Amino acid sequence: MAKNVTLADIAEKVGVSNVAVYKALADKPGVSDKLRERIKLLADEMGYVSGAARAEAISRTGNIGIIIPEQYYGYSLSFYGQLHEKVVKALYKSEYFGMLEIMTPEDERSLTMPRVMQDGKVDGLILLGQMRKEYIEFMISQEKLPVIFLDTYIPLVTFDTVISDGYYGTYLLTNYLIRQGHRKIGFVGSVDVTSSIADRYWGYRKALRESGIAYEDSWETPDRNERGNLFKELPVQWEGMDAFVCNCDYTADILIRSLEAKGCRVPEDISVVGVDDFLPQGMNNDRITTYRVDMDQMAERCVKSLLKKINGKKYTEGIQIVTGKIIYRKTVAGRGSNAVTLRGPRVE
């Protein structure tokens, strides 16, 4: 283990007394501003940790709580199961361990503190997935532990969170469909269920408006109930439509199977795009044209921000948005003479 850096080590480097170093680091009078800044910079470079900070570090558990609403979790079978694994790996690289806790709807409604937090088992919390506004505000207001949210936010409430750029992603996907000659483009997703679906819907609407395409209410199809549970079949009206933008790849897969059961061919008759670049194991993950969410980068940013917050260091406060990219696959075909052949990242 590396030797702890002392005041004497810093004093020797700078060429001043131990007292001068102490005054500089404690922001006490008796040293010039120039010398104070020089000593503080050198202390950071040398990895100096004060006695108080060392005592605090000794009392820490080395664990981070990861809280996920039970309707979103399904191990490797769900998007959030995969994102949880990315967070655990990012924590491990920083010599922390992730402690998973599944939050029930009743816990959320009753504003129950996570049990890992009540038991003093963790140094901070990552809350993953969309939660009730009241619960988010409840966790923001508590001062016992630092928290950061992942893949969730609510309008008009300021808190620390990392989200994917679903708004821009569906904006790009819709523009891609428009450039392929599509004009009647539907959206599949329950817009009012989560903030991420709402973002994706408004990105889609922005692209339509900018291209002078008049949106019709009949183009919107819900894909899940108010609890977030996906429908097994989608009674979508596809006659007369050119394409559909789906809020996630899982919904896109359900839509494609629903369409094909009715004799509609994808992409020959209808083009379909999704978001996330994720399907559960065992499903065809190399077919759907999609906007890939960078889960690794989301997990890395979330973990780094939380650990800085725990250690009282400067971090990016508020919303951090992680961009992705379109993955061009097999569910989009051009319509008409104006269709443009686009090339980009492809996974075979």
pLDDT at 106 over 90: yes
Q: Express as a percent the part of the chain with pLDDT over 90.
A: 59
- Reported as a single tens digit per residue, the pLDDT across 284-333 is 778 999 999 999 999 999 999 999 999 888 999 999 999 999 999 999 99
User: What average pLDDT does the segment 173-195 reach?
Assistant: 95
Cβ(172)–Cβ(291) below 8 Å: yes
DSSP reduced 3-state for 103: strand
Token pair for 180: 């392929």
Q: Which amino acid is at 66?
A: I
End-to-end CA gap in the chain: 46
Token pair for 144: 């016992």
> Up-side HSE of residue 75: CA atoms within 13 Å toward CB?
1
One-character DSSP codes across 263-323: T--TTTT-EEEEEES---TTS-TTS-EEEE--HHHHHHHHHHHHHHHHTT-----SEEEE-
- Reported as a single tens digit per residue, the pLDDT across 57-86 is 556 889 999 999 988 876 456 788 889 999
- Reported as a single tens digit per residue, the pLDDT across 259-285 is 999 899 999 999 999 999 998 877 777
Q: Provide the pLDDT for residue 341.
A: 47
**What domains can you pick out in the chain, each with its CATH number?**
7-58 (1.10.260), 63-164+295-323 (3.40.50.2300), 166-293 (3.40.50.2300)
Handedness of CA 322, 328, 331, 334 (dihedral sign): positive
Q: Give the Å distances, CA to CA, from 74 to 31, 78, 219.
A: 58, 5, 31
Query: Which residues does 104 contact at the CB level (< 8 Å), separation at least 6?
Result: 70
Query: Which residues does 148 contact at the CB level (< 8 Å), separation at least 6?
Result: 124, 125, 126, 127, 160, 161, 162, 302, 305, 306, 309
Place of tokens 């609890």: 227
Of 42-46, 47-51, 177-181, 222-226, give the range with the top mean pLDDT.
177-181
More confident residue, 143 or 95: 95
Q: Which amino acid is at 275?
A: V
Task: In whole angstroms, give the CA distance from residue 264 to residue 54.
Answer: 65
pLDDT at 49 over 80: no
pLDDT band of 118, cuts 50, 70, 90: confident
Predicted TM-score (pTM) above 0.95: no
Q: Give the Å distances, CA to CA, from 293 to 38, 53, 170.
A: 42, 37, 11
Strands 289-292, 271-276: pairing is parallel
DSSP-assigned beta bridge partners for residue 243: 185, 271
Please, what is the average pLDDT of the chain?
A: 88
- Reported as a single tens digit per residue, the pLDDT across 216-236 is 999 999 998 877 778 888 878
Task: In whole angstroms, give the CA distance from residue 29 to residue 22.
Answer: 10
User: What average pLDDT does the segment 99-115 reach?
Assistant: 92
Task: In whole angstroms, give the CA distance from residue 244 to residue 105.
Answer: 32
One-character DSSP codes across 189-204: S-TTT-HHHHHHHHHH
pLDDT band of 24, cuts 50, 70, 90: confident
> To 10 degrees, what angle do helices 18-25 and 33-46 make?
90
Among 301, 304, 303, smallest CA distance to 323 is for 301
One-character DSSP codes across 124-168: EEEEES---HHHHHHHHH--SS-EEEES---TT----EEEE-HHH
Question: Mean pLDDT lowest for which of 52-61, 89-98, 126-135, 270-279?
Answer: 52-61
Cβ(7)–Cβ(21) below 8 Å: yes
pLDDT at 346 over 70: no
How many Cβ atoms sit within 10 Å of the Cβ of residue 106? Answer: 8
pLDDT band of 2, cuts 50, 70, 90: very low
